Amino acid sequence: MTSNLAIEAVGLKKSYHDPKRGRIEAVRGVDLAIRQGEVFGLLGQNGAGKTTTLRMLASILPPTEGVARIDGIDVVADPIEARRRLGFLSGSTGLYPRLTPRETLRHFGVLHGLEGAELERRIAELLGLFDMEAWADGRCEALSTGQRQKVSISRALLHDPAVLILDEPTTGLDVLASSAMIEFIESRRASGTCVLLSTHVLSEAERLCDRIGIIHHGRVLACGSLGELQHQTGEEWLEDVFKRVVLAAEPAAELNTGAKSK
């Protein structure tokens, strides 16, 4: 494996058995090679296999076939070590309702091996970064959706991992909090952290991502810088690039239906 790869997927597949529909192939052979210090965007419609791919990379779901590595560590062979190097945020990241945000960060900090002054410094840094000081000592069960998202993001960042996988990180955040999150992701590039970002907000992908992969029906159909994708498709805006790539992969009948529904 190339030494500067922070995330690698080779022939990654995931299939399920449904009693009514039989075998369902959610991911059909995804290959990814993402470098240290790179912000990579994975774009896809709901059901395209995007979140399933991220969960396999994060060792939450075992792949049916293929290999996934985080910072050189095989996530199936050594999931604990892979998780030490990874911060993962998903839409289903849970919080203990009776703990406060500060207590939550202390709890997960200890699990990551942080303690004492180092842990308290890191907690204070994250509380300030996401403007959480005013409500850091109230129970999580009383927080708004946006406040819960801030705590979940802080939990993923707490141990300053080498690799970040962020699934819709600005969901539920207001304009200022979203801006802080975007600026933080930009700062991670400068520090050499690899960020794999999934978002439905295409303006975020245009601003943040060094390269973009478009996934559809469990396969990565296109991958490259925004300029490369624009050149390949002849489109200027990322939204139009995305549509062109996805519709080109559909059968002719579906293409016609899509054209009529615009």
The per-residue pLDDT for range 212-232, each reduced to its tens digit, is 999 999 999 999 999 999 999
> Whole-model pTM?
0.87
Residue 148 tokens read as 């819960």
* E-state strands within the chain: 5-18, 22-35, 39-43, 65-70, 73-74, 86-89, 163-167, 194-198, 211-216, 219-224
Instruction: Say what the pLDDT of residue 63 is.
Output: 96
Instruction: Say what the pLDDT of residue 21 is.
Output: 84
Confidence check: pLDDT of 33 > 50:
yes
Confidence check: pLDDT of 3 > 70:
no
CA–CA distance, 143 with 163 (Å, rounded to integer): 28
Cα–Cα distances (Å) from 57 to 6, 71, 80, 115, in that order, read: 11, 11, 13, 28
Instruction: Say what the pLDDT of residue 250 is.
Output: 81
Cα–Cα distances (Å) from 187 to 53, 61, 106, 163, 261, in that order, read: 25, 29, 24, 13, 40
Confidence check: pLDDT of 130 > 90:
no
Q: Contact at 8 Å (CB) between 109 and 68?
A: no
Q: Contact at 8 Å (CB) between 68 and 76?
A: yes
Residue 174 phi, psi dihedral angles, 5° rounding: -75, 180
Confidence check: pLDDT of 12 > 90:
yes
In the numeric block, the tokens 């955040």 are attached to 173
Instruction: Say what the pLDDT of residue 251 is.
Output: 66
Instruction: Say what the pLDDT of residue 191 is.
Output: 87
Any idea which of 24-38, 110-124, 167-181 has the lowest mean pLDDT? 167-181
Confidence check: pLDDT of 261 > 90:
no
Q: What mean pLDDT is reported for the chain? A: 90
Confidence check: pLDDT of 165 > 50:
yes
Work out the pLDDT band at 189, boundaries 50, 70, 90: confident
Instruction: Say what the pLDDT of residue 52 is.
Output: 95
